[in-house]
Structure 1
Amino acid sequence: MPDGREVDQSELLGVAKDEERARSLLRALRTLSTGPDPKLREMARGVLRGDLTAEQAFTDPEYTAALFSGADKIRRAGEQRTDAEAREASERFGAWQEARSAEDEHEGPGQGPGEGHGQGQGTSRSDVGTRTAPPQPSGPWRHSGPGGLGGPGGLGSSARH
């Protein structure tokens, strides 16, 4: 970010509707801002800098096409994996949640914009013991099948509600 400013989760409440989804959307934008897709990097960086609102990003035809293309690739990969691969992925996700939760407890509350970049907003400790698979996606991707964007990063549950 040229001036070092990054939007905070409160600025994403217009599309996210609640604090948890806003945190999830912020994490997803941070992930996309360094990801392999140039169009999604451009979109995420624009939103994070405040040059583009989340509403504008999610209604722009080019960005929407890039999001759906990525979601479709994930859906197809999920449909093609075996039961053993699905179980292994679920176990890895559970381990990832535990590690993220441990980081969150270590970081503590009150992280400002840019502090703990991408950390301090994970799943609570109580969620880790009760959930080993990603939540069911909602929003426009809720019917996209296994591996939709409702997993880590939660675009499917955050982008439109």
Structure 2
Amino acid sequence: MPDGREVDQAELLGVAKDEERARSLLRALRTLSTGPDPKLREMATGVLRGDLTAEQAFTDPEYTAALFSGADKIRRAGERRTDAEAREAGERFGAWQEARSTEDERGDEGEGQGTPPSDAPPRPTPEQPSGPWRHPGAGGLGGPGGLGGSRPAGPLGRG
């Protein structure tokens, strides 16, 4: 970053629409800026520096192709996982979400990578996780974000 400046979440409100989404988008951009995909690193770094607006990044054909390619890889991996793997992933995601909300409540902006404090009550392990992770190969994309996990199957057996 030429001047060391990084956009803040207020500058992302135009695309994010509210502060929580702006905070989440900022975290995602920081993650992408150090990730393995060179096109996504370029896009995220450009937005974080302020060289590129989020609107420009999300409408650029090369960047959107890279984003969709990554999402497709995640979808395919979700379709191949077993029920046990899906349950474990749901439990880990729940613990991560809880840790992130605990950090946000304390005012920590620690990238969402921390762990809950030791005095936090243990999270109960559900018999079967609810939400889109529940049936990994049953027509949904599964995973956090609810990408189609509860849609009915279409005419070809996929949602």
1:65–1:98 distance in 2 versus 1, CA, 3 Å? same
Which of the pair has more CA radius of gyration? 2
Distance (whole Å) between structure 2 residues aligned to residue 100 and residue 21 of structure 1: 14
- The partner residue of 1:147 within 139, 143, 146 is 143
Residue pairs, 1:28-43, within 5 angstroms = 28-43=28-43
Instruction: Write out per-residue CA displacement over residues 123-152 of structure 1, whole angstroms, 9 at most, x where no aligned residue.
Output: xxxxxx7xx97987xxxxxx972137x37x
Cα distance in 2 for partners of 1:135, 1:64 equals 27
- Tell me which moved more, 6-15 or 95-104: 95-104
Aligned-residue Cα RMSD (Å) equals 3.0
**What are structure 1's unaligned runs of at least 5 residues?**
121-128, 137-142, 152-161
TM-score, normalised with respect to structure 1: 0.68
- 1:118 and 2:118 equivalent? no
- Look up the SS of the partner of 1:145 in the other structure: coil
Residue correspondence of structure 1 range 1-161 to structure 2 within 5 A: 1-105=1-105, 108-109=106-107, 116=109, 118-119=111-112, 145-147=141-143, 150=145
The answer on whether the counterparts of 1:39 and 1:66 sit within 8 Å (CA) in structure 2 is: yes
Shift of 1:119: 4.8
Partners of 1:89 and 1:71 lie apart in 2 by 17
CA distance change for structure 1 residues 92 and 117 in 2, over 3 Å: closer, same or farther? closer
| Structure 1 contact 12–22 (Cα < 8 Å) conserved | yes
Whether the 8 Å contact between 2:103 and 2:112 is mirrored in structure 1 is yes
The alignment's TM-score, normalised by the length of structure 2, stands at: 0.69
Provide structure 2 residue ranges, at least 5 long, that are not aligned to the other structure: 114-122, 133-138, 147-159
Given residue 141 of structure 2, which amino acid in structure 1 is its aligned partner? G
Which string of whole-angstrom CA distances, capped at 9 and with x for unpartnered residues, describes residues 54-92 of structure 1? 000001111010000000000111111111100000111
Shift of 1:17: 1.2
List structure 1 runs of 4+ shifted beyond 4 angstroms.
Answer: 132-136
Per-residue CA deviation, residues 29-66 of structure 1 (Å, 9 max, x unaligned), is: 01101100010000000000000000000011110100
Aligned length: 129
More helix by share: 1
Q: Is the 8 A contact 2:32 2:41 kept in 1?
A: yes
